[in-house]
Amino acid sequence: MKRRALIFQLMAVFCLLVQSMLGAVEAEAASVSKASRDCGKSRKVTVYNPAGTLEGGGYVDDMLKKRMVEAGKTKPPMAGEFPKANIEEVCVQSDEVAEINALFYKRGWTDGLPVIPPTVERVKEMLNGSDLDPDYVITKVDPVGGQATVEKIAVNAVMAGCRPEYMPVLIAALEAAMDPNVNLRGMATTTSPDVPLLIINGPIAKQLDINSGSNALGRGSRANSSISRALNLIVQNIGGSWVGITDMSTLGQPADFSNMLAENEDESPWEPLHIELGFQKKDNVVTVVGVEPYHTIMGLGHSAENFMRIISDHLIASDRPYQATMVLLITKDTAKMMAKNGWTKEKIREYIEKNARTPLSKLKEKFLDNGTASVLGGIPSWVYETKDMSTMIPAPFIGQLNIIVAGGTGEKSALFPGWLGSKSASKKIRLPANWDELLEAAKK
């Protein structure tokens, strides 16, 4: 009798499992069928939807469409006009890539450049870059709060041109970008031309061929270009940062498309950034910081101290009384020259703090009298209490100065002013269980 009862129990469990599996299949079928259409003699291409969904239900696009109507905006012209399903069947007359791009552009899902259509096959392949469940929510994304599931991340990664092995870096970059210190909501909605800068440290930079040398912030590297582009598409499509609707940048900047590099650890005479931040040398780390366009600083023919004086002069000319964070990128040749003359990262910071100063009289005229300082904040109270107008005051006050070494041969270093409301955040990159297989497949 006990044996018979056990058999009945096992059969009941089996039936429940079968019902559950059939339910999942039916749900997926419903997801597709809702979006299916009669294409007549045209062929169908099945693609994923890159738009974010809200925790309480509904799509980010519908919320943005409502704001568009209220503000009298007409772009994107097909905002919110799509089947509310994960997967959609698109009718294609001839050129699949061109026609899907035209459709996605009208819906507000591209950055203006062509994207790779996120077909079922491509998204499935991209999901091989993560061992997390496709429905697992990594984070809610600012500014609107769309849910970034692993699947949605993969869809936008496909569109940006990523490879599956880039997924761990992209996921970590998104987590770092959503750190409260970065203040992505403010960065994604401000009138300033600030965008995320991604800095990669650790062995993964070489494994993925992330450029840290010549033209590190320019064209030529698939990893640099596509990972950063994917992050920006995620902020746009999942997070809801739409130009003129929630993204109010007055001018924007080309780095809206891509803004990523690896630190050139092999050529650096100093400890790399991630070790300074408390990570181990073997750790793979992504650091995200909101930055404005960088200022080139040429060190050709200058001594180490003259080079530092040029940097200090750049800072004195700043239009911000306070910089929550800044990134100083020193090229390898200049870094080696400075290290040879006894300069460390700490000495560089001390020099800037001591020499990037201006008389209180100029600071008062520049920031205090017109109320700029009270709006932008950051100037400590003791400055207002100082009576001697000749007192030298830091210009600007810097909350965090990250120093990295990157770039090819030459003396063109760079200073990245950070966004007022943002500091950097770093995240260790978690590798999936199939990491070795991913790297091996990438070689083929």
> Which stretches within 93-209 are classed as H helix?
96-107, 120-126, 150-160, 167-177, 184-189, 204-207
For residue 212, give its domain range: 43-292+423-442
188 and 301 in a single domain? The answer is no
316 and 274 in a single domain? The answer is no
Inside any domain, residue 16: no
CA angle (331, 273, 400) in 5-degree steps: 95
Inside any domain, residue 85: yes
Inside any domain, residue 17: no
252 and 356 in a single domain? The answer is no
Let me know: does 256 contact 134? Beta carbons within 8 Å.
Answer: no
Q: What is the pTM of this model?
A: 0.90
168 and 258 in a single domain? The answer is yes
Condensed to tens digits (0 to 9), the pLDDT of residues 211-249 reads 999 999 999 999 999 999 999 999 999 999 999 999 999
Condensed to tens digits (0 to 9), the pLDDT of residues 65-114 reads 999 999 999 999 999 999 999 999 999 999 999 999 999 999 999 999 99
Where does the pLDDT of residue 376 fall: very low under 50, low under 70, confident under 90, or very high at 90 and above?
Answer: confident
Q: What is the mean pLDDT of residues 364-370?
A: 87
154 and 259 in a single domain? The answer is yes
User: What was the pLDDT predicted at 350?
Assistant: 97
User: What was the pLDDT predicted at 94?
Assistant: 93
Of 348 and 41, the structure prediction assigns the larger pLDDT to: 348
Where does the pLDDT of residue 368 fall: very low under 50, low under 70, confident under 90, or very high at 90 and above?
Answer: confident
How far is residue 337's CA from residue 351's CA, in Å, rounded to a whole number?
17
Provide the mean pLDDT of the chain.
91
Condensed to tens digits (0 to 9), the pLDDT of residues 200-209 reads 999 999 999 9
374 and 263 in a single domain? The answer is no
Inside any domain, residue 370: yes
Inside any domain, residue 35: no
Number of domains in the chain: 2
SS3 258: coil
Condensed to tens digits (0 to 9), the pLDDT of residues 6-52 reads 444 544 444 444 344 434 433 444 444 444 567 887 899 999 999 99
How far is residue 247's CA from residue 243's CA, in Å, rounded to a whole number?
5
Which residues are CB-contacts of 390 (< 8 A; sequence separation ≥ 6)? Answer: 359, 360, 361
167 and 61 in a single domain? The answer is yes
Q: Which among 219, 143, 134 is positioned nearest to 177, based on CA atoms?
A: 143
Where does the pLDDT of residue 374 fall: very low under 50, low under 70, confident under 90, or very high at 90 and above?
Answer: confident
Q: What is the mean pLDDT of residues 279-292?
A: 97
User: What was the pLDDT predicted at 36?
Assistant: 56
360 and 280 in a single domain? The answer is no
User: What was the pLDDT predicted at 37?
Assistant: 62
Share of the chain above pLDDT 70, in %: 92
Where does the pLDDT of residue 145 fall: very low under 50, low under 70, confident under 90, or very high at 90 and above?
Answer: very high
User: What was the pLDDT predicted at 299?
Assistant: 81
Rounded to the nearest 5°, which phi and psi values hold at 284?
Answer: -95, 125
138 and 241 in a single domain? The answer is yes
246 and 201 in a single domain? The answer is yes
Q: Which among 174, 219, 226 is positioned nearest to 196, based on CA atoms?
A: 174
**9-13, 371-375, 398-402, range with the lowest pLDDT:** 9-13
Inside any domain, residue 125: yes
173 and 284 in a single domain? The answer is yes
Inside any domain, residue 138: yes
176 and 278 in a single domain? The answer is yes
User: What was the pLDDT predicted at 18?
Assistant: 37
Inside any domain, residue 11: no
